[in-house]
Amino acid sequence: MPNRTFQNTKIVATLGPASDSYETMLEMVRAGVDVFRINMSHGSHEVAARQIETITKLNKDYKINIGILADLQGPKLRVGQIENNSLELQPGDILTFVNEKCVGNSEKIYMSYQQFAADVEVGEKVLVDDGKVGLEVVETNNIDCVKLKVLFGKELSSNKGVNLPDTHVSLPALTTKDIEDFDFLMTQPVNWIALSFVRSPKEIKDLKERIKRFQHQACVIAKIEKPQAVEKIEKIVKASDGIMIARGDLGVEMPIEKLPGIQKRIIALCVQYGKPVIVATQMMDSMITNPSPTRAEVTDVANAVLEGTDAVMLSGETSVGAYPVETVRAMNRIIAEAEKNYPKNHIRPYPSPKSDTFMSDVVCFNAAKTAEELGASAIIGMTAQGYTGFKISSYRSPAEIFIFSDRKEIAGMLNLVWGVRCFFYDGFNTTDETITEVLHILKSKNRIKSGQTVVFVGSMPLKTRGMTNMMKVALVE
């Protein structure tokens, strides 16, 4: 696409009223967007279908592969309506939460979580409105009524979110709304589905099985926003196809000063296991209303890039903000500058001989190593399922990564992955003929030049699926 620069670190932008027209989305793509996020918490299925249709049209019109990520709402807990929309609070006040709908006041307040009284225990903390109000459980009848003492906060407003950092919530991973949204998404060409408030690897495996039953190709992203997920992070990374560090709820549920260390650890784990990772929430938050980011936001984005994240995400900045295109453009500039200082000696753990994919992993590992030692300009891979792209990316090679696939959905999926540029290709003749053809394609797109060295990886024979067993070094003629 003309007027577009490409960075290794990808940009995910959330669609909303400020950004879901064809013209605005096109300008956002030109500014640097690689994946659009559809937030199923807001809007109808009709709105989501229209957004997905627009992305698909953009991809077709401009022969690009912008990915589509659909984000399920998950079990979001809320208080109900409050009389006059506000209840003044003082530390020491006692509030009563009930599970029967009512207009809240100083006597009682509706809580949407029906098992609240059964799940909480005396002494546990309850946080409301992104942590602006702190409460402590002082009494529960284990059925339908909980008394809480106000620890801090000045007012409680209607429909504010509730976080239970100390409580093992018994809600299922998928709510009734999530299942309805999921069934709708199975009729759409989405590449990624994000599961909210993940607590265990089993929830990821269950969602994958559900997708498999629909014979859909969507991959699953685990959103890390609960302490229980942080405790089981390595198992969750292994079970998922990708990870989103959702710092909003995570920063409410855990001490906020722990977030930077948690983010760094999760990114390192994802790179180690070859799973794409997204850093999300408040990355350029001030640009919802301002035309330029704060210095702290610039540093936040740059640090995520330097830590090795695959993607950085924009939420309200592009969905409801006043400057959606300008925000993407600013983020792209920050990424480009940060990548000039990207660590040159990236640690590449040697593939495990115990892995089922050991042969493919060794080929990809050595492709990255060979490309670096030869000063190759590109690693070119052929893939049917995307695995080659994921694995080569995880080695963070300084060479460009170009992946060819005969499945269009793979191209959109890999657009989230660090450094990967994917192209649709369904020729797959002999190995030598295919190499000649893909080199011609890349030369015609000005991605490689005559005289450059490239490293080619794939399977032999080329139509073999699920196995990368061949590496070839070639000189571009």
Instruction: Return the pLDDT at 460.
Output: 82
CATH number at residue 126: 2.40.33.10
Does a structural domain hold residue 89?
A: yes
Does a structural domain hold residue 319?
A: yes
Q: Tell whether 309 and 376 lie within a shared domain.
A: no
Query: Does residue 85 carry a pLDDT above 70?
Result: yes
Count other Cβ atoms within 10 Å, centred on residue 321.
23
Percent of residues, the chain, with pLDDT higher than 70: 97
Q: Which residues are catalytic?
A: 37, 78, 223, 281
CATH number at residue 414: 3.40.1380.20
Instruction: Return the pLDDT at 317.
Output: 98
Q: Tell whether 277 and 404 lie within a shared domain.
A: no
Q: How many CA atoms lie within 13 A of 452 on its CB side?
A: 21
Q: How many CA atoms lie within 13 A of 280 on its CB side?
A: 26
**Calpha distance 396→348 (Å, rounded):** 8
Instruction: Return the pLDDT at 349.
Output: 77
Mean pLDDT, the chain, integer = 94
pLDDT 10s digits, 131-179: 999 999 999 999 999 999 999 999 999 999 999 999 988 889 999 999 9
Instruction: Return the pLDDT at 64.
Output: 94
**Calpha distance 87→95 (Å, rounded):** 11
Instruction: Return the pLDDT at 63.
Output: 93
Query: Does residue 235 carry a pLDDT above 70?
Result: yes
Q: Tell whether 328 and 242 lie within a shared domain.
A: yes
Query: Does residue 348 carry a pLDDT above 90?
Result: no
Phi, psi of 250 (to 5 degrees): -60, -40
Of 41-55, 101-115, 255-269, 427-441, the least confident: 427-441
Q: Tell whether 215 and 303 lie within a shared domain.
A: yes
pLDDT 10s digits, 358-413: 999 999 999 999 999 999 999 999 998 899 999 999 999 999 999 999 888 999 99
| pTM (global) more than 0.85 | yes
Query: Which tokens go with 407?
Result: 């499945």
**Calpha distance 217→191 (Å, rounded):** 7
Find the mean pLDDT for residues 245-262.
95
Answer with the one of 163, 183, 198 that is the final residue of a domain: 163
Find the mean pLDDT for residues 289-302.
98
Measured at the CA of 96, the angle between CA 93 and CA 97, to 5 degrees, comes to: 130
Q: How many CA atoms lie within 13 A of 401 on its CB side?
A: 28
Does a structural domain hold residue 348?
A: no
Instruction: Return the pLDDT at 279.
Output: 99
Q: Tell whether 137 and 273 lie within a shared domain.
A: no
CATH number at residue 69: 3.20.20.60
Instruction: Return the pLDDT at 198.
Output: 96
Q: Tell whether 194 and 312 lie within a shared domain.
A: yes
Q: Tell whether 140 and 210 lie within a shared domain.
A: no
Find the mean pLDDT for residues 20-44.
96
Query: Which tokens go with 139?
Result: 């009494």
Instruction: Return the pLDDT at 355.
Output: 87
Q: Tell whether 143 and 111 lie within a shared domain.
A: yes
Q: Tell whether 256 and 275 lie within a shared domain.
A: yes
Instruction: Return the pLDDT at 1.
Output: 66
Confidence of residue 352 (pLDDT cuts 50, 70, 90): confident
Does a structural domain hold residue 343?
A: no
Does a structural domain hold residue 2?
A: no
Percent of residues, the chain, with pLDDT higher than 90: 87
Count other Cβ atoms within 10 Å, centred on residue 152.
12
Does a structural domain hold residue 349?
A: no
**Structural domain count of the chain:** 3
Answer with the one of 304, 338, 372 that is the final residue of a domain: 338
Answer with the one of 132, 163, 194 that is the final residue of a domain: 163
Find the mean pLDDT for residues 65-70.
98
Phi, psi of 150 (to 5 degrees): -75, 125
Label residues 158-191 b or e (16+ Cβ within 10 Å = b): bebbbbbbbbebebebbbeebeebbebbbebbbb
Q: Tell whether 157 and 293 lie within a shared domain.
A: no
Is residue 153 within 8 Å of 128, Cβ to Cβ? yes
Token pair 């990355």 is at which residue? 283
Burial class (CB in 10 A: 0-12, 13-18, 19+), 217: middle
Find the mean pLDDT for residues 32-41.
97
Torsion of CA 163, 166, 168, 174, to 10 degrees: 20
Q: Tell whether 274 and 197 lie within a shared domain.
A: yes
Is residue 165 within 8 Å of 127, Cβ to Cβ? yes
Confidence of residue 356 (pLDDT cuts 50, 70, 90): confident
Phi, psi of 27 (to 5 degrees): -65, -35
Does a structural domain hold residue 350?
A: no
- Cα 125 to Cα 95, 122, 147, 155, 170, distances in angstroms: 13, 9, 12, 17, 17
Does a structural domain hold residue 121?
A: yes
Instruction: Return the pLDDT at 3.
Output: 66
Domain coverage including residue 421 = 358-475
Instruction: Return the pLDDT at 14.
Output: 98
Instruction: Return the pLDDT at 2.
Output: 60
**Calpha distance 310→270 (Å, rounded):** 9
pLDDT 10s digits, 39-63: 999 889 999 999 999 999 999 999 9
Q: Tell whether 51 and 182 lie within a shared domain.
A: yes
pLDDT 10s digits, 442-459: 999 999 999 999 999 988
Which secondary-structure segment (H or E) carries 234?
A: helix 233-239
